[in-house]
Amino acid sequence: MGWETIKPYIMMFFLQFVDAGLALVSKKAIADGMNPFVFVVYRQALATLSLAPFAFFLERKKSSSLSFSLLCKIFLVALCGITLFLIPYYFAINYTSATFAAASTTTVPAVTFILAVFLRMESISIKERHGMAKILGSVVCISGALVFAFVKGPPVYPSIQRNTSHLSTKHSSKGEWIMGSLIMLSAYTAWSLWIIMQGPIVKQYPLRLRLITLQAFFSCIQSALWVVAVDRKKSSWKLGWDVHLLSVAYCGVVVGGISYVVRLWVIEKKGPVFVAIFNPLILIITAIFSAFLWREIIHWGSVCGAIMLVVGLYCVLWGKHKEEKYAKKHQIPESKEEVRITNE
């Protein structure tokens, strides 16, 4: 097995740790008092700056027309899928946990499939095994997210809470947890909608790096306007040499910039399903680090919900894979919808 063969696997393991770090550091920064909406502005600004050089150098020999109407479409896609994902996400993470934020990512293929069906971009073959697998997987995945959010049960490691509770991040009340969980799931619904919208917009503007850079830039502007409308305190914009600056830099440069380029490379080499099958590792990594770094308490109800999430995810992915093979065998046009797990 040569380097070129194992390189996509190494890159995917790297991306799982990067994505796990997203929930961990952002949870810590916002729990320590950083305005979540300002966090989004800084993150998107740094993401734009980190993506711009890649877009310029890697796509400098390519050209594509960018009309005013197309620019407006990109602006709306950024609003619906990025801004309306990030603002609720960072608001909700203050009332939930890093582990729940990571767990919610596994619902994306199922929610994307459900939305695509409603938008008539995806067909359901209930007479075929792959069709039933996608339906069953979606139901199990969404149910797992609800179990993870609302069913607690006894803690897995109660001694951690007794011995080191002084190191914990903020603990939310039951009402705040429910509110945060519902907002988090709605945020990932917006992200799923963004995935669906990428297909038509990429056909009109096929330069992917420039496209995502423009969307990050527009999202930065939209988020800034939101902050100005809801919070006019100048102190909210201050950054010091602390976890706030570290979190913004990590989420903007590493997650919003570098990891996107790496993920795009892996998708082109191995396909979107290969990328998606690694997604549950984010949940495992986040749960382990949250327990030891932020002293987050893992409950048995969450463990059951996580198992359901992973089982549901793989049912959807298995169904999608078998559907593609069935379509090729019988020369059936493939669905317009394509599930891709990208960085949040």
Joined together, the tokens standing for residue 211 give 């496209």
The pLDDT of residue 231 is 81
Name the residue with tokens 């969450």. Answer: 302
Residues 6+ away with beta carbon under 8 Å from 283: 99, 102, 103, 105, 106, 306, 309, 310
Rounded to 5°, the CA angle 109-110-113 comes to 85
How confident is the model over 176-235, as pLDDT tens digits? 999 999 999 999 999 989 888 888 888 899 898 999 999 999 999 999 999 999 887 888
What are the two backbone dihedrals, phi and then psi, of residue 150, each rounded to the nearest 5 degrees?
-115, -10
Model pTM? 0.83
How confident is the model over 80-120, as pLDDT tens digits? 989 999 999 999 998 988 889 988 988 888 888 888 888 87
C-beta atoms surrounding 236 within 10 Å: 15
The kind and range of the H/E element at 179 are: helix 174-204
Among 198, 135, 208, CA closest to 336: 198
Task: State the amino acid at position 98 in one-letter form.
Answer: A
